[in-house]
A and B are shown apart, each in its own frame.
Chain A
Amino acid sequence: INVVQRKVRSRDAARCRRSQETEVFYELAHSLPLPRRIASHLDKAAIMRVTLSYLRMNRLIQSAGLTKTPTEETENPTDAFYQQALAGFILVMTEEGDMVFLSESVSKYIGITQLELLGQNVYEFVHPCDQEELRDILATRPGVSKKKTEKSTEHNFFLRMKSTLTHTGRTVNIKSASWKVLHCTGHMQTFSGDSENAPPAGSFLTLLCEPIPHPSSVEFPLDSNTFLTRHNMDLSFTQCDGRVTELIGYQPDDLIGRSAYEFYHALDFDHVTRSLHILFSKGQVCTSHYRFLAKNGGFVWTETQATVLYNSRTSQPEAVVCLNFILSGVEEADVVFSLEQTCEKPKPRAEKLSVLNEEEEDMEEESSTAKLFLQMKENPEDLLQLAPHSGDAVISLTGAQNHAFLQNLNVCCWS
């Protein structure tokens, strides 16, 4: 009887304690700046994560906020637009990789919600092969000084992060997540807190993370200064959008079979090859500006978003599709840089693989982009696959989406 009584008493005491605790937890949840219905659905661990992130973020803002000027008040109504106007999300993390802030839009890009990520360690979501790179970045401290100064260093890198978004816009379980390449740009900052009370707030990396659009699902319309090319893995051209003629002067035939490496200005060589290295190791990249040598002389400034396509059966990389944004007209058109630009043109070194627009040169060029994709569609396995890394999870697109994609592209070109 005694044993039973004690058991009952202790159980009651424990219950009482737990319920008290739970109550405080939910009180805590509701003091977070979250919509009530969301706050009440957080579990305890999540409450702790989010609370900690909130407090850290608050401290970060306070130590940085001294520079804020009152005039900015006037911009208030439009401040809300930033998040949506950006083609990516904001991520703030500590030196340890704890994610103290993510903008709400994160779920739009990688499917995982803000609350799921807040307070978690970023390494749990980063591709194993990219973790060391990230560690190095987070380790570079911009020199801590005694004074309360804010130093920042710029960073620009590519990370593969887990994404639960499929191309149908559905989200899958985190366990079957795939990798998404994110272009991260931002600054590392070190804050030394107030000398007396607060401990140093430490270093924070503030990043804008932008996914690189996969050529099968470009969300935005492509304007007339953009053309698509397709390459073998050695970067020789295999297909080229006819629009290139008006932009750089080449007929698609001129390029097909040639190595894209021949068309880069030597002064941009370093950063272009660095970008391409990232492309081959991570699956996607966007270059910074480089000079693409134009036909018969001169060059155009170009920025390229490149994506590796994988074979659906073997998961082996098969081709590279580039979305080339031409940023300028032909500059220094009277200067010849390369052998290709001289009259005696070396012949393409590989046999021609396919030529678009051979007899339809006069057709409106709008259709050429779509045709390029139509061609891709005919070899459906090319586009069916987008696993940025071999051995990673694979997302397949269905035929219906391909079709929709074509429609979409048609529309893009039309407009």
Chain B
Amino acid sequence: MSARNTAAGGDDGATGEKPGDALEEEPQGLSVSLSGLMTPTSATGMASGMELPRKRKGSMDNPETKSASNLEEDMEDDQGREPHSQIEKRRRDKMNNLIDELAAMIPTCNPMSRKLDKLTVLRMAVQHLKSLKGATSSFAEANYKPAFLPDDELKHLVLRAADGFLFVVGCDRGKIVFVSESVSKMLNYSRTELIGQSLFDYVHPKDIGKVKEQLSASELYPRERLIDAKTGLQVQAELPVGVARLCSGARRSFFCRMKYNKVTVKEEKDFQAGASKKKESQRYCTVHCTGYMRTWPTHQLGTEGEAETDKESSHFSCLVAVGRVHPHTLPQANGEIKVKPTEFVTRYAMDGKFTFVDQRATTILGYLPQELLGTSCYEYFHLDDLPHLADRHRKVLRSKEKIETNCYKFKTKYGSFVTLQSQWFSFINPWTKEVEYIVSTNTVISGKSNPGGSGDKSEQLSSSKASEDDAKKSQQVPIITGISSASGMIYAGCIGTQIANEIMDYNRMNSSPSSGNTSPFSLLQDKSPLALAQASSNVPNGEVTDVEMPGKSSSEEEARGGAFTAGESLMEGSSQLDLEGVPGLGALSTDEAAMAVIMSLLETDANLGEAVDFDEMHWSL
């Protein structure tokens, strides 16, 4: 009742103000307009608040209205005057604005320069509406229930909002009873081609079963739905009871692949090449169908429903649905979205191990994805580039930005190097804020097996590299004194692991320290004694927990596996790298020193926390 009171109160204002207010309406409306403008939201909020309960009442078709509110209007006087008059002022103000807006919309009002009074505007609006009604044929007479917008206009709006087509398909045989003109835009078939055909002829063979499921469920499902409706779960109130009894109205929503007729234009041209034409026309696009089941008494089937064969049953049930094609799904068939063939995408775990390889990598690098997966990217980097890439690696793990690398050389399967430039960014799990993986978009800079480093932008900065002409020559790394060529390959995997650990330590220092258990380093240490010293000295507790976070534990797993793969790649690497004069396992001890240099540099950076400056000074790339 309280709701009704406010409703009536709000309305009273509209139907009849108290005498005093009414008399001074015009001047007040003007004077108040400022304050009304200051709080437009509250005013509108008020207005909507007043109208809403009222309208619900209206839509329920209560016969009582005006008389009741007129009665209450007189009682208004007793109630709090101040807030009420405020409300009234705002309301009047709003109403005046609306009247002005209305005047602007009515052609006959427009030419008149002087401001028209309310009544005139309203009368003109009535005239205008009537003339519109006459122009766009009568809603009121023809249709039993006039709609705010005629159906065909609504259809246009639908088509404007979403590219789609309407279709009606018989449930029993899948015959297309109706399809709208717009199908030609979507699937490139004319509607006459499709009507009368079986829908299944136009659905991807693998999706036929699915579509049949959707069509055949009409028998069982709606009956159950009525039960559901009784428990109050379903929103079935809108459906007329009669329709519901006919098992109509059950919703459907599914995806299926439908044939996309691609050749209508080229038909003549491709006549001779029948095979290729057929292949072309067999393309599919994914259609999202939403709709509902509907049952018609057969005699009511309109002209478009020439479903003679279906007339044996007295009721014809079918699916009425709108199919929508998302524009970006059209090129789906070939799977390959337009990407330059000189580009491929990889994902690394935090420690630089490949976890995802785009198949384009194979044409560029020669490796099958499975050859790369699980190995560390450092195993493939040219020694020259290691410091730079390690620096970037560290940067990317600490940054939310995308990090561009300089050009660097990546060893292909055939032993040659290809010059790549990559954009790295670490994907951080939005929930845990943990690094999930590093996404790298790699671009080939100067084709495969680039003999010279000429395409290498980085070289203009690096005096040491300027002297190199050949990738092979880079075995001598002048800048790192005492480092020997092969060690990089062997220990490369450790660099990534090391960096990953640094970051995790760094993160741990910034967050709460957690109690650890056994260090995965113990494994590493066996493999790489040089890492031992570094790890034990710089990683305070040496523990990286498995428990802490899923993200972490996974990379730990990989790190542990990495220790193995590093070892394995060491074996196969030694055989594979023979052509480059890689020393075998025996060389390990002599390489230790070299790696220790790298590691210590990396470590120092990490501990300084200011990786950038330090690095740039020494490794200026």
Contact = CB atoms under 8 A, between A and B. Distances in A.
B partners with A = yes
Contacts of A108: 235, 238
B573 to A, nearest CB: 18
A86 B290 contact: yes
Nearest to A273: B427
A113 B55 contact: yes
Interface stretch (A136-144, A371-379, A399-407): A399-407
Contacts of A32: 129, 148
B290 A87 contact: yes
Interface in A74-124: 75-87, 90, 92, 101, 103-104, 107-108, 113-116, 118, 120-121, 124
Contact of B322 (A50, A82, A101): A82
B9 to A, nearest CB: 11
B249 to A, nearest CB: 8
Contacts of B148: 32-34, 50, 54, 101, 104, 114, 118
A86 B166 CA distance: 9
A337 B52 contact: no
A40 B62 CA distance: 11
Interface in B85-104: 91, 94-95, 98-99, 101-102, 104
A369 interface: no
Given A11-B19, A80-B151, A407-B228, A208 B158 contact: yes
Given A85-B166, A186-B162, A335 B122 contact: no
Nearest to A98: B101
A51 B129 contact: yes
A10 interface: yes
Nearest to A71: B181
Given A24-B126, A41-B65, A45-B51, A346 B558 contact: yes
A233 B22 CA distance: 60
Interface residues of A, number: 149
B231 A289 contact: no
Given A85-B292, A108-B235, A259-B436, A349 B551 contact: yes
B119 A267 contact: no
Interface string B383-407: 0000000000000000000000000
A175 to B, nearest CB: 8
A86 B322 CA distance: 6
Interface stretch (B208-216, B446-454, B526-534, B606-614): B208-216
Nearest to A397: B233
B168 A338 contact: no
Interface in B118-176: 118-119, 122-123, 125-126, 128-130, 132-133, 139-140, 145-149, 151-158, 160-162, 166, 168
B581 to A, nearest CB: 31
B178 A208 contact: no
Contacts of A277: 430
B350 interface: no
B2 to A, nearest CB: 11
A269 B439 contact: yes
B161 A174 contact: no
A185 to B, nearest CB: 5
A14 interface: yes
Contacts, number: 404
B368 to A, nearest CB: 7
B16 A234 contact: no
Given A261-B437, A288-B328, A407-B228, A52 B101 contact: yes
Most chain A CB inside 10 Å of its own CB: which residue of B102, B132, B233: B233
B382 interface: no
Nearest to B565: A344
B23 A84 contact: no
A326 B91 CA distance: 54
Contacts of B29: none
B58 A221 contact: no
B51 A33 contact: no
Nearest to A37: B61
A174 B52 contact: yes
Given A48-B95, A349-B551, A79 B429 contact: no
B176 to A, nearest CB: 13
A393 interface: no
A135 interface: no
Measured as residues with beta carbon below 8 angstroms from the partner, the interface class of chain B is 35 or more
A392 interface: no
A180 to B, nearest CB: 13
Contact of B228 (A31, A84, A404): A404
B206 A329 contact: yes
Interface in A14-29: 14-15, 17-18, 20-22, 24-25, 27-28
A33 B147 contact: yes
A236 B209 CA distance: 31
Contacts of B98: 45, 48-49, 52
Contact of B55 (A28, A83, A116): A116
B554 A349 contact: yes
Contacts of A55: 102, 105-106, 128-129
A325 interface: yes
A28 B102 CA distance: 12
Contacts of B41: 124
Contact of B557 (A84, A92, A349, A415): A349
Given A52-B102, A101-B149, A346-B558, A405 B59 contact: no
A187 B160 contact: yes
Interface stretch (A56-64, A357-365, A382-390): A56-64
Contacts of B322: 82, 85-86
Contact of B16 (A15, A154, A197, A329): A15
Contacts of A46: 51, 54-55
Interface string B210-253: 10011011001100110110011111111000000000001111
B118 to A, nearest CB: 7
A189 B557 CA distance: 53
A3 interface: no
A338 B158 contact: no
Contacts of A401: 231-233
A114 B3 CA distance: 20
19 contacts: A14-B19, A21-B122, A24-B119, A44-B95, A45-B94, A85-B166, A87-B251, A90-B154, A107-B238, A199-B104, A220-B250, A220-B252, A221-B217, A266-B358, A335-B369, A339-B373, A342-B374, A346-B554, A401-B232
Given A206-B161, A233-B431, A235-B429, 6 more contacts: A11-B19, A41-B65, A59-B105, A118-B148, A199-B104, A328-B286
Which A-B residue pairs are the 10 nearest by beta carbons? A41-B58, A349-B554, A415-B217, A79-B151, A31-B129, A87-B290, A186-B161, A44-B14, A208-B161, A14-B22
